[in-house]
Amino acid sequence: MSKLGKVGPYTLLERLGRGGMGEVYLAGSRRGERVALKVLHELAEDDSSRIRLEREVRALRRVESPYVARVLDADLDCARPYLVMEHIEGDTLLDRVRGEGPLDLALLVELAQGIAAALAIIHAAGVVHRDLKPANIIMGADGPVLIDFGIAQVIDATRLTMTGTFLGTPGYTAPEIFADEQVDSPADIHAWAATVAFAATGRPAFGRGTPEAQMYAVLNGQADLKGVPVALLPLVRAALNREPAKRPTAALLADRLSRLARVTGGPEAGVSSGAGALAAPVVEEEAARGRTTDDARPPAPRKAMGEDSRGSGPRPRP
């Protein structure tokens, strides 16, 4: 019998992470399968935490994608509600960059394209992630996988608000969230740009200061993009536009990056002005024909996020 005990029919094997809302464990099913189990911890069993977990389940069940961890089981009515998801082997993007430094150009473009394709799929399903960041991306063997939809917003649902409380990570949060404006899929595009910039440079685009300092930098468009490859710079800048309507859609980014990936096939390819020019028309294209719909078919996932996807980091974050 595991020293950590059981939750429902699942045996807890190892604690992978802990946060204000709950804990995430590596667990075993009755059939011996390994899964990731998120359970509300005892001090977080208030109505808002239960509602957030319920929304996470609802959001994930609306999405079927190789870029998003699948829901396997859930019990939201028991004493300690829990969510069970597939266990994805691999480091988080945060851990990968901290341990090995910024990604090389070919892997960076692949990552950027995979995340954009993931966002195109969840946006088409009517879901906004709202907390996209390096810690919520697993570098899986078949491409990046998004985790932790704990503060996701299902577009046709009533917003969950908590007076005086901010849910999210300041340096990866869109300015319209801070400004209490309408929040929709473009908020994830802003977070995509900040995440890609971190993967390219190894540092947060909006600094490492206090949450207030990061919030100020976000609201005033003070992103540090030094070191972002010229091939990606036009797309990242467009995605950080202060006006949500002027940001490219996830589907457009995925399409542009899929074509860019064919140019950046090696560590030194794509750094020329030609590769940058391939990305540059995104702003003009958006202005000319309006924002494209997010139901465009994203490119199929490409294999391998690098040859060495080591470790077993937290799967859904608490």
| Sign of the CA dihedral with 162 first, then 249, 91, and 97 last | negative
Catalytic residue (choose from 91, 131, 148, 294):
131
Q: Could you tell me the two tokens for 159? A: 């917003």
Q: Reduced to 3 states, what is the DSSP secondary structure of residue 162?
A: coil
Q: Which among 157, 292, 166 is positioned nearest to 218, based on CA atoms?
A: 166
Which amino acid, one-letter code, is at 268?
E
Round to whole Å and give the CA distance between 186 and 165: 22
**What is the CA angle 140-27-316, rounded to 5?**
45
* Gap between the Cα atoms of 133 and 191, Å rounded: 7
Tell me if 185 sits within 8 A of 154, measured CB to CB: no
CA angle 74, 87, 41 (to 5 degrees): 50
In order of 24, 37, 44, 56, 160, the CA distances from 47 in angstroms are 19, 20, 9, 14, 11
Cβ-proximal residues to 145 (8 Å cutoff; 6+ apart), any chain:
66, 67, 68, 69, 88, 90, 118, 137, 138
131 is catalytic: yes
Active site residues: 131
